[in-house]
Amino acid sequence: MRAVRCTLLAACASLLTGCAAPLEGVGYYWQSVSGHLALMHSAQPIAELLRDPTLDPTLRGKLELAREVREFASAQLGLPDNGSYRSYARIGRPFVVWNVFAAPELSLRLEQGCFPVAGCVSYRGYFSREDAERYAQRLRARGLETQVAGVPAYSTLGFFDDPLPDTVTRYPDAEIARLIFHELSHQVLYVKGDSRFNESFATAVQEVGVERWLAANELRTGNARVRRAYEEFAGRRREFLALLLRHREELERIYESDVPDSTKRAAKAAVFAALEHEYAALRARWGGFAGYDHWFAGGVTNAHLAAVAAYTELVPGFLRVLAEQGGSLPRFYAAARALSTLSRVERDARLETAAPPGK
């Protein structure tokens, strides 16, 4: 009975992450289940690993940090106190999952896949990059534009005690904290079928969480270095996102206009050319930092810009809700849950009209 339950839960987990769809056949469904089970099977308790005197010193430091961050998440941020991210999985690949996003040629509306547990989500995930690329190719054959994006971690929303994959421990210290806070946030609140609400909520929590974690460790040796690195990293990310969103807005105006499709295609090409040119200038101002070069490697598409918006559009609204709750995260979570009970149109309207605190 335990084995049957484990398999069923694995299937649920794959559905939650958008990694399975019956229409793709049994083989596709099985890659989701087997991929997740392989991840779980490779997991070892972090506390146990830290007792090993032969553990690599660099990895030891990362795991000690992850353990501390995990405790902070529950004790100070009110995030779930369970077994998630208290174990470590060596998977030996650059990402744990590759998500495939797709959008039409003249639209920024992401294609959705609908699943029994998660509802409709705006991506589909694969544990193998080759499988993700094959699926993306099938979508391109249908005339859709695609992005295949590597993901360092994912959440099964509490169905499992998710392990911390080695893909996360390769990041700078504050980024490890950010990723853990983000994934745990999905266990606090998840609205079936609304990726934009879910990801923006988790992004808001991660931003607040990292700031509070850094402030709590302000006097620790080395904290100034960690904060500088995070602020530099976060500053570049904000500038990059602003660049993308600005060009996304321009594309929206083009696609919603009444001009012929041929005119739209020409204007679209000009927007993408301008985006690449402005990114090159931004990269030069950053002193040659190449952290976002991969984003342009296969050519920018509508799917790239549409996917970015899904993770960020409602963040200012959520931060305003937090400010309205006096900065109390428990009250913020309750307010966000109340929003989640509204219709999508109503909750979006309340969040979209919000300005960031202090604006």
Q: What is the pLDDT of residue 121?
A: 75
CA distance 185 to 45: 21
- pLDDT at res. 357: 46
Domain ranges of the chain: 1-41+97-151
| Overall residue count recorded for the chain in this entry | 359
pTM of the model: 0.87
DSSP result, 150-193: EES----TTSS---EEHHHHTS-HHHHHHHHHHHHHHHH---TT
- Rounded distance between C-alpha atoms, residue 200 and residue 297, angstroms: 26
Widest Cα–Cα separation across the chain = 68
* Per-residue model confidence as pLDDT tens for the chain (359 residues): 333 334 334 444 444 443 333 345 566 667 788 888 899 999 999 999 999 999 999 999 999 999 999 999 999 999 999 999 999 999 999 999 999 999 999 999 998 876 665 567 788 889 999 999 999 999 999 999 999 999 999 888 888 899 999 999 999 999 999 999 999 999 999 998 888 899 999 999 999 999 999 999 886 767 888 899 899 989 999 999 999 999 999 999 999 999 999 999 999 999 999 999 999 999 999 999 999 999 998 899 999 999 888 778 899 999 999 999 999 999 999 999 999 999 999 999 999 875 444 44
Distance CA 15, CA 21 (A): 7
Q: How many CB atoms lie within 10 A of CB 12?
A: 21
Beta strands in the chain (DSSP E): 43-45, 87-89, 97-103, 113-115, 119-121, 124-126, 145-151, 164-165
Cα dihedral 181, 184, 189, 191 sign: positive
Instruction: Using the structure block, give the residue that is written with the tokens 């399975």.
Output: 20
CA–CA separation, 256 and 193 (whole Å): 25
Q: How are beta strands 87-89 and 164-165 bridged, if at all?
A: parallel
